[in-house]
Structure 1
Amino acid sequence: MIEDCIIVGAGPAGLTAAIYLARFHLKVRMFDCGSSRAAMIPRTHNHAGYPGGIPGPELLRRMRDQAAEFGVTREECRVTEIEPLDGCFRISCGDRNWEARTVLLATGVINHRPEGMDHALHDAALAGGQLRYCPICDGYEVTDKRVGVIGTGDHGMREALFLRGYTRDVTLIAPGVHDLDDACRAALDDAGVVLVEGPCGDYTIDGNRLVLDTAEGRVAFDSVYPALGSTIRSDLAVAAGAAATGEGCLTVDDHMRTTVPGLFAAGDVVLGLDQVSNAMGQAGVAATTIRNALNDATPLRR
């Protein structure tokens, strides 16, 4: 049986689209490899409607339950190929295949983690708030605290300056040696951001602080933000012929259509604000466009 839409990715974007599409009375199958970045959120306070916040895993669980309520089929496997065919797509998970009239890619990104930090310590620090990845999401939680940013160059500078809006005590630590031009150094100096050379490593949690080695000795912070970039998971769409930016973000129009007819994208895999609310909004636009495109091809009737 051919699906109306296959969704690759089961984070906030993919799940929102699945709910919309199922409520349009379309046949929807979702593929979930279990690596949504939202599952890493200890508690989000930016998502409207949840006073006190909601943990990322709980938000995903509720969204999965809601999608299942309307008949969305969820496959727990990793998609290995999206192949455009004549009028449809073949989606493969290893040697298993499905076909769909349209595909929505909602695969997100993977944050680059600090080198030398083991998985157990990483997860413990993330859960305890000593390690954070998104100052837009949780900068409020580090108000007037001691904050470290691991990074350099323009990206590291911009993250340090953004966090300066929450606290006076911001230190930019190079992962190796700082690579900052005169303009970056002047902006950081003007904001009172301390510069520390790397390399950094030998991470431990001491009390409620993350402690690490630098070229200038051992330092401790209430929270540390890695500003090390990310990998955009757009390879499936690019291999299928979709255009992307130099960084790998998929190119879409205002209706979330990629350059491959019938292939859509939403969420962090698209250039823009990497936020749950933004991903969900894009997913609603994509799902409605998919519904209308299918209706144009064959009128949807009950």
Structure 2
Amino acid sequence: MSEHARRYGPDLVEGRIDDIRQAPSGFTARSFDASWSPRSVLLATGVTNRRPELDDHTHSEALARGHLRYCPVCDGYEVSGLNVAVLGSDARAVSEAEFLRSFTDRVTLISTVSHAVEADLRRRLERIGATIRLGPVKGMRLLAGGLEVITAGRPEIYDAVYPALGSSIHSRLAKMLGATATEDGCIEVDRHQRTTIKHLYAAGDVVYGLDQISVCNGQAAIAAVAIRNDLWAEKQSLWPHEARRPS
């Protein structure tokens, strides 16, 4: 995608924006050693999935081998008929277990706490025939045949483990500008990806919705057209930069 973008002349800069403020011309965005003054800003800062306690090497290897997965919507079909576990204790974890149950009849919810799962959530799991294991999770080991999860009970090996531990949503810059966000922290946008701050747009996982690359790409396309149209409405600019006069 970077090579594709470079064909059209933008500057691609690696860095971290630490501060962004509104300015007369639009915004001022600053990193540690540079600043920019854009007329519009599109935030695609995403989220970070909360990880189970695994060292970086084991985590990467488990992902590469398909024994650790984060998105049932993305790849649930790949675990069809396999022995699958979901890590979590809340309604979101139960929903993931229910989603995966349409692909396999071997689904276990491993609670991240030692007390029993809430009664209404337990009934939902019992309704689909899922197994419930009490936590907390004391350790995980990557083995040749899968990912071993260790709790107070007997260790069990699973073909795939889905952590349902929530996400950290990177909406700090939007909040810094006063943009409205959901209780979870997702940036609120209209159907053209506009936030509640003029000329500030957002797309991708940082916006509430289905966290999928195809969805992100679609939102980015919508935002790009909105940015162009909103700027045009304020100051029409023809190519080249002066209107061609009739001869």
TM-score of the two chains, using structure 2 as the length reference: 0.94
Which of 143, 164, 171 is the matching residue for 1:227? Answer: 164
1:122-162 CA-to-partner distances (Å, cap 9, x unmatched) read 11101110000000001011000000100012111101111
> Quick check: 2:201–2:223 contact (8 Å CA) kept in 1?
yes
Distance in 1 (CA, whole Å) between partners of 2:106 and 2:25 is: 57
Q: Residues of 2 paired with 1:207 and 1:195: CA distance?
A: 24
1:137 maps to which of 56, 62, 74 = 74
Tell me how far apart the structure 1 counterparts of residues 221 and 65 of structure 2 sit (CA, whole Å): 33
Shift of 1:188: 0.4
Query: Greater CA deviation, 194-203 or 285-294?
Result: 194-203
1:271 and 2:208 matched: yes
5+ residue gaps, structure 2, are 240-247
Whichever residue aligns with residue 107 of structure 1, its letter is: T
| Per-residue deviation, 1:179 | 5.6
* TM-aligned CA deviation for residue 297 of structure 1: 1.3
Q: Could you list the per-position Cα deviations for residues 238-293 of structure 1 after superposition, in whole angstroms to 9, with x for gaps in the alignment?
A: 01111101100001111111111010000100001111111111111100000001
Counterpart CA distance in 2 for 1:208 and 1:66 is 40
- The equivalent of 1:289 in structure 2 is 226
Normalising by structure 1, what TM-score?
A: 0.77
Question: 2:184 maps to what in 1?
Answer: 247
Q: Tell me the percent identity.
A: 44
Task: Determine helix, strand or coil for the equivalent of 2:17.
Answer: coil
**What residue number does 2:244 align with?**
none
Tell me which stretches of 4 or more aligned residues in structure 1 moved more than 6 Å. Answer: none
The change in CA–CA distance for 1:242 and 1:105 in structure 2 (over 3 A counts) is same
Structure 1 counterpart SS, 2:86: strand
- Alignment of 1:100 onto 2:38: yes
79-88 or 134-143, larger mean C-alpha shift? 79-88
Q: CA RMSD in A?
A: 1.1
Q: Kindly indicate whether the alpha-carbon contact (under 8 Å) linking 2:116 and 2:134 is maintained by their aligned counterparts in 1.
A: no
Check if 1:87 corresponds to 2:28: no
Report if the CA contact (8 A) 1:152-1:178 is conserved: no
Please tell me whether the aligned partners of residues 29 and 36 of structure 2 are also in contact (alpha carbons under 8 angstroms): yes
Indicate the structure (1 or 2) with the bigger Cα radius of gyration. 2
